[in-house]
A and B are shown apart, each in its own frame.
Chain A
Amino acid sequence: SQTIHQWPATLVQPVGSPLSLECTVEGTSNPNLYWYRQAAGRGLQLLFYSVGIGQISSEVPQNLSASRPQDRQFILSSKKLLLSDSGFYLCAWRIGQGAFEAFFGQGTRLTVV
């Protein structure tokens, strides 16, 4: 069966520090991968999605970037965190072809101080 791993669960980082959040999927090939951010009162904002290795679509110009170095690995990064980067980050995957739902990781709570 397929599983998604997202870590760390919580993270406290100072302003100006770098960030790397990792998401990996097991049990499937060539998934679509997604990064979302959930800030208080702002719903679920799509940040990046990827339909294949090295293919990244950015939805919101900001201080973050994403990479997909392997088929089932999706990394969210920042060179210098801002206070506004605080939030709950969720990774999701879905089967790439056809009508399928997305499955979510347990999320990372990022607090920038």
Chain B
Amino acid sequence: AQSVTQPDIHITVSEGASLELRCNYSYGATPYLFWYVQSPGQGLQLLLKYFSGDTLVQGIKGFEAEFKRSQSSFNLRKPSVHWSDAAEYFCAVMEYGNKLVFGAGTILRVKS
């Protein structure tokens, strides 16, 4: 079964507009959740993470994400997108036994 679902393959937003990338997980225990960003041909960079505590977590580059246990979601948000945010974004969950599983990714395009 798919542990992490990112329902949007591509998203296009205008520069300056707000952004929300969706992520749903299926994991019985309290999850460790992550968002990573990947520029073309590069490795992955961590944006933010959730382990416990405050369900709204702040990350780098102005991103934030909210953990909602009732909805099994961990959506990524940014209030105002910049052209440099165009990249592919991955949500990930750490499963039992240190198995780190990623979603299929969402490609973000920013139009000027």
Name A's B-contacting residues (CB within 8 A). Answer: 32, 34, 36, 41-44, 46, 49, 51, 57, 59, 88, 90, 92, 94, 96, 99, 101-107, 109
Return the contact of B90 from the options A43, A99, A109 (Cβ within 8 A). Answer: A43
Chain B residues at the A interface, C-beta cutoff of 8 Å: 6, 9, 32, 34, 36, 41-46, 49, 51-52, 90, 92, 94, 97-105
A42 and B104 form a contact (CB under 8 A)? yes
Chain A residues with CB below 8 A from B34, complex form? 101-102
Q: Are A107 and B42 in contact (CB under 8 A)?
A: yes
Expressed in whole angstroms, the minimum distance between the Cβ of B75 and any Cβ of chain A is: 18
- Asked whether, in the complex, the Cβ of A96 is within 8 Å of the Cβ of B90, the reply is no
* Complex CA–CA separation, A105 to B90 (angstroms): 16
Q: Which residue of B lies closest to A51 (CB)?
A: B98
Nearest 7 CB-CB pairs, A to B?
A43-B104, A104-B43, A44-B102, A99-B51, A104-B44, A43-B105, A32-B98
Determine whether the beta carbon of B100 is less than 8 Å from that of A102: yes
Chain A interface, >50% SS class? strand
Partner of B43, one of A32, A101, A107: A107
The reply to whether A57 and B103 form a contact with Cβ atoms under 8 Å apart is no
Contacts of A107 in B (CB 8 A): 41-43
| B43 engages A49 (CB within 8 Å) | no
- Distance of A110 from chain B, by nearest CB (Å): 13
Contact in complex: B41, A109 (CB < 8 Å):
yes
Sampled A-B contacts (10; CB under 8 Å): A42-B104, A43-B102, A43-B105, A51-B98, A92-B100, A99-B52, A101-B46, A102-B92, A105-B43, A107-B42
A98 to nearest B CB, angstroms?
9
> Which A residues touch B101, using CB under 8 A?
46
Max count, chain A CB within 10 A of own CB: residue among B42, B98, B100 = B98
- What is the bound-complex CA distance between A109 and B41, given in angstroms? 8
